[in-house]
Chain A
Amino acid sequence: MARYDRAITVFSPDGHLFQVEYALEAVRKGNAAVGVRGTDNVVLGVEKKSTAKLQDSRSVRKIVNLDNHIALACAGLKADARVLINRARVECQSHRLTVEDPCTVEYITRYIAGLQQKYTQSGGVRPFGLSTLIVGFDPYTGSPSLYQTDPSGTFSAWKANATGRNSNSIREFLEKNFKETAGQETVKLAIRALLEVVESGGKNIEVAVMTKEDGLRQLEEAEIDAIVAEIEAEKAAAEAAKKAPPKDT
């Protein structure tokens, strides 16, 4: 088995591309990231490791803009992410230049996935070690979308998804609790999902909301704390209701 992971362009006898699978491992070690699509907005949430005291936290933004109407969050190797994000930003502008129209979320996702795939089929390069969550609004239909790509270059659209550390538990939670929401409810759902695996508190999560009118808006720490407090209160109320003796009808 060890012989088949030296060069990326080689299949193993049982049909695996080991480098791609190792890249997925790198993703699994990265920070948790969650995305939830609402009816009028899309929310991205990322786990934030506690920043060192001397570090300027504003320089480590994990949720970035690709264009006015498209944003991206990722899990995995952050240096690879920077390269991919830069290429995607250039492609967004290039599309605007050649067709005089902003690109759709699907287009840029296809481009990023295509780029990730290219690096799985060339000599002397390794795949990008990250999975991305791409959100945005379609400039023609105005509908919100959420897409996910991974190191193998596959992509698909989701109603809600998670990637990175403990993404399986987050996805389970989302599958159990997802319903069509709008506005603040979507934000709450995203934060609730993230809180399943992250210590609660505004310091440890970064949340951003994308709306059609206002584009991407990063939530302030105070706002996040307020929502977390709401969620905790709701949880406590639900617990109390369960513990109370059942009323006779």
Chain B
Amino acid sequence: MKLDTSGLESFPSLILHGNDVAGEISAPPSFDLPNSNDFDGFLKEAIQMVKPAKGTTTLAFIFKEGVMVAADSRASMGGYISSQSVKKIIEINPYMLGTMAGGAADCQFWHRNLGIKCRLHELANKRRISVTGASKLLANILYSYRGMGLSVGTMIAGWDETGPGLYYVDSEGGRLKGTRFSVGSGSPYAYGVLDSGYKYDMSIEEASELARRAIYHATFRDGASGGVASVYYVGPTGWKKLSGDDVGELHYHYNPVTPSTTVEQEMVDAAAA
């Protein structure tokens, strides 16, 4: 099986290309598959190994002013919370963001790699790459690794000449254009809040509050999501981190403890009444 390993090359090898000038399409460098008796079983095990890390909640939506991107920050391995401070929103370049769900290493590496490709595109073509193009580049790479055990469920959000752009790209090779996405184990809860509160004509404050609330509610109900709710905004001048609130504190912000009468006082009042 030949894979598209162009993402791993940092510099094109001149010696390699010298030999196949006569051919139409030069064969990319390839590597062998692991030797195992039960390849399917091996694959399943590999996927199971990274699966717990998809415990996460990330969301992104397009509205009148741009794109809002939010995520939690918890990493869990089964019942063990391995970290409460994972950066799940990856800065690809000053005007494009990617979210992390699935294998942390896979997401980080391929987003960094995508950043390289975007920069090279800029240098070669003297113009920024579109969100469409960037997401297509990532999707093509992930497609060529299909079935190899990569676990990536990411959203590419950015602002280009055509305005705000949002794409969902996953390791199965799927790529969807949309206006509202949520990815991860907490996504059903986030969708509930996001879909019921969404209006296209929101201000930046309203949108960031909606995103924050959606993440909070997901972390409240989903054990694999928690930590800090980060909210980023992508506008015409690039992305900007708006807030990063601990969800425990957010809980008391949304459900303030009202100072109520103590039990002793109640009993006294009852006797009086």
Contact = CB atoms under 8 A, between A and B. Distances in A.
Chains A and B come from one and the same complex: yes
Contacts of B146: none
B21 A100 contact: no
Contacts, number: 35
A119 B126 CA distance: 26
Given A140-B127, A140-B161, A99 B21 contact: no
B266 to A, nearest CB: 67
Size class of A's contact patch?
10 to 19
A125 B22 contact: yes
B129 interface: yes
Interface in A101-143: 101, 104, 106-107, 110, 118-119, 121-123, 125, 140
A106 B126 CA distance: 10
B21, B133, B140 interface centre (most CB from chain A within 10 Å):
B21
A122 B21 contact: yes
Interface in B3-35: 17-18, 21-22, 24
Nearest to A104: B125
- Judged by DSSP, the binding face of A is loop
Contacts of A104: 125
A50 interface: no
Contacts of B125: 104, 106-107
A125 B136 contact: no
B134 to A, nearest CB: 9
Contacts of B137: 98-99
Interface string A170-195: 00000000000000000000000000
Nearest to A115: B21
Interface string A224-238: 000000000000000
B97 to A, nearest CB: 19
Contact of B140 (A98, A121, A123, A140): A98
Nearest to A100: B132
Contacts of B161: 140
A125 B17 CA distance: 14
Interface residues of B, number: 17
Nearest to B129: A99
B127 A99 contact: no
Contacts of A106: 125-126
B245 to A, nearest CB: 37
A222 B58 CA distance: 65
Contacts of A123: 18
A98 B133 CA distance: 7
B28 to A, nearest CB: 14
A140 B17 CA distance: 32
Nearest to B137: A98
B124 to A, nearest CB: 8
B130 interface: yes
A33 B137 CA distance: 38
Contact of B136 (A99, A110, A121, A140): A99
A109 to B, nearest CB: 12
B171 to A, nearest CB: 19
B93 to A, nearest CB: 16
A82 to B, nearest CB: 14
B130 A99 contact: yes
A100 B127 contact: no
Given A107-B125, A140-B127, A140-B161, A100 B22 contact: no
A123 B133 CA distance: 36
Contacts of A122: 18, 21
Nearest to A118: B21
Interface in A73-114: 87, 98-101, 104, 106-107, 110
Nearest to B126: A106
A119 B129 CA distance: 30
Contacts of B140: 98
A209 B21 CA distance: 34
B32 to A, nearest CB: 27
A98 B129 CA distance: 12
A107 B125 CA distance: 7
Interface in B119-143: 124-127, 129-130, 132-133, 136-137, 140
Given A107-B124, A122-B21, A140-B127, 13 more contacts: A98-B140, A99-B129, A99-B132, A99-B136, A100-B130, A100-B133, A106-B125, A110-B124, A118-B17, A118-B21, A122-B18, A123-B18, A140-B161
16 contacts: A98-B133, A98-B136, A98-B137, A98-B140, A99-B132, A100-B130, A104-B125, A106-B125, A106-B126, A107-B125, A110-B124, A118-B17, A119-B21, A122-B21, A125-B22, A140-B161
Interface of A: 87, 98-101, 104, 106-107, 110, 118-119, 121-123, 125, 140
Interface of B: 17-18, 21-22, 24, 124-127, 129-130, 132-133, 136-137, 140, 161
